[in-house]
Each structure stands twice: as C-alpha cells, then as structure tokens.
Amino acid sequence: MNPLATGFHDREHFAPTTPYRLLPARFTKLDGDRYVVTNDVGEYVLLGHEDLKAFVNRELRPDSQSYKTLKARHFLFDDDSRVALDLLALKYRTRVDRIADFTALHMFVVTLRCDHTCAYCQVSRQTEDRLSFDMRAEHADKALAFVFRSPSPALKIEFQGGEPLLNFDLIRRIVERAEALNRVHRRDLQFVIASNLTHLTDEVLAFCRDHRICFSTSLDGPEDLPNSRRALPGGNSYRAAVDGIRRVRDALGPDAIAALMTTSPGSLTRPVDILDENVAKGFH
C-alpha cells in the first residue's frame, strides 16, 4: 500500500533536517502578537507570533535571541547542548519527586458549622444548630484508612471546618484511632486543629496536650481589621482570638500555635500594622 495515498508518511519523513530538535512544550496566546510558551519543569518564554511559528517549524535562526533563550530554558536542544537533556531530566525529577511519597497532608472537614460570619469565608458555612452538616463517624473511619495508604513517612492530619471544635467528639475519635493505626504503620504522625479558638475548653486543651496536637488560627492584624472582616455575632472576634492564643500557649507551649492572616481590601494599605500586631503577639 502506498503510504502517501492514506495520508501517512514513512519514518524518514519525520527525520530532523534542521540543527535543533524540539522538547516538550505548550503555548497559549497572551495578547495581540505574544504567546507564552511553557514546559514541564516550570520554565516559560514569551515569543512573538513569527518567532513561535519559526520555532515550531524548526526554522529559528541559531544566532537569534529567541533561539538562545529557548535553548537555555530547555525548549530545544542541538548538537552543542545534549547535556541539557540530562539537566532537563534532573529538573523534572526534582519537580515531581513529591509524587513518589504521595501526600503527607490530609484535611478532615469535620463540620461546616461555625459561630463566626467571616466576610471572606470560602466554605459553605452553616449555623451552629445544623448538625446534619457534621462529618459522620463512618466517613471519618474510611478517610482515616485512606490516610494510611499514603507511602509518605510523615503524615499530618489537619482538622478544619467551619469551626472544627464544634465537633470535638469526632476529632477525639479520629486522633485516637489514628494513633492506634500508627502503632502498626509507625509513621511520623502529627495533628493540627485550624480553629477560631472561641470554643476552647479545659477538656479540649488537656486532650491536645496529651496527644501533642497543635493549633492554627487567624490573626488579620490590629483589632479593627479582624472585627470588620471576621464578625463574631454578639462578641469580639479579635479578643476571642487573642485570648485563645494565650490559653493555647499556657497549656501547650509557646510554639503550639501558628497564625495566618487573610488579605482583604482593608488590609492592603496596612502591612506594617499587620506585621507589628503579629510580632506583638509573639509570632515570628
């Protein structure tokens, strides 16, 4: 059969006839004449339409700046740059190395209920009485079994919400079952509760101390900023957070809690105030 009659070509048709070969890349249009060309190791190049066309057709002049840039960033190789293939492989191996261990961080959203009404909340928050929006024990058990399927030598379980302390009984169950499983799996097992700290009790703190559980909370800046964005009906969210931070440190130690801030329009002009507030509250 004549391969040309079917639209196919012999292997020789695809043999390189130019001084360089293409490496894996993709491109997308940026504006009127420019394209962003990217590859699998995170490099990118901006090319005009004519340079992109010449590059793809292997007609780019070796003395052009585009050629030199594409060569340096692993979009093409020639007889003078074969070692670049080894470097490209090294970069790619480093980039995807984390996949070999799968993930170490597993988030358990134990409830969507919350007592705050944060303006920037990204979850489908429910009021405190909506118990049907809590994670069920059987789902937690299945999720926990999945956690230990990860080959990672270190595992971190982070409890989120809503406000996770509103379903503290389930947190207790997950922690105790995870520790029991870990007596067999022997991983570096850690726990974190991401909380607004308004539902801290002596019971919660004692359990966290006994099981080496840390906390993460929000501190958006001086008092007026969190109170305007992290509304606590009938209360003061800033004061609740600051008091909670103090209680966690007193019970669990100075490094048992970390704070994050969420950027909002009101905070954009106050970076120094926000940093000063975090430093004043003992955060690095």
- Annotated domain spans of the chain: 16-98, 101-280
Angle at CA 244, nearest 5°, toward 233 and 276?
A: 95
Name the 3-class secondary structure at 22. Answer: strand
Which amino acid, one-letter code, is at 218? S
In the structure encoding, which two tokens stand for residue 84, read together? Answer: 């670049």
pLDDT of the residue at 277: 95
Rounded Cα gap, residues 281 and 242, in angstroms: 8
In the structure encoding, which two tokens stand for residue 176, read together? Answer: 């105790």
In the structure encoding, which two tokens stand for residue 88, read together? Answer: 């490209």
Residues 6+ apart with CB under 8 A from 209: 251, 252
pLDDT tens digits in sequence order for the chain, 284 residues long: 444 455 676 665 555 556 788 888 999 999 989 999 998 888 899 999 999 999 999 999 988 999 999 988 888 888 777 666 777 788 777 777 766 667 889 999 999 999 998 888 877 777 767 778 899 999 999 999 999 999 889 999 999 989 999 999 999 999 999 999 999 999 999 999 999 999 999 999 999 999 999 999 999 999 999 998 888 888 899 999 999 999 999 999 999 999 999 888 889 999 999 999 999 999 98
pLDDT of the residue at 3: 45
Rounded Cα gap, residues 89 and 96, in angstroms: 11
Nearest CA among 196, 191, 198 for reference residue 252: 191
Q: Where are the beta strands (DSSP E) in 202-256?
A: 213-218, 230-231
Distance, first Cα to last Cα, the chain: 74
CA distances from 169 to 18, 165, 195 (A): 68, 8, 15
CATH class of segment(s) 101-280: alpha beta
Rounded Cα gap, residues 149 and 209, in angstroms: 27
Rounded Cα gap, residues 171 and 163, in angstroms: 12
pLDDT of the residue at 35: 95
CA distances from 209 to 31, 113, 144 (A): 56, 25, 22
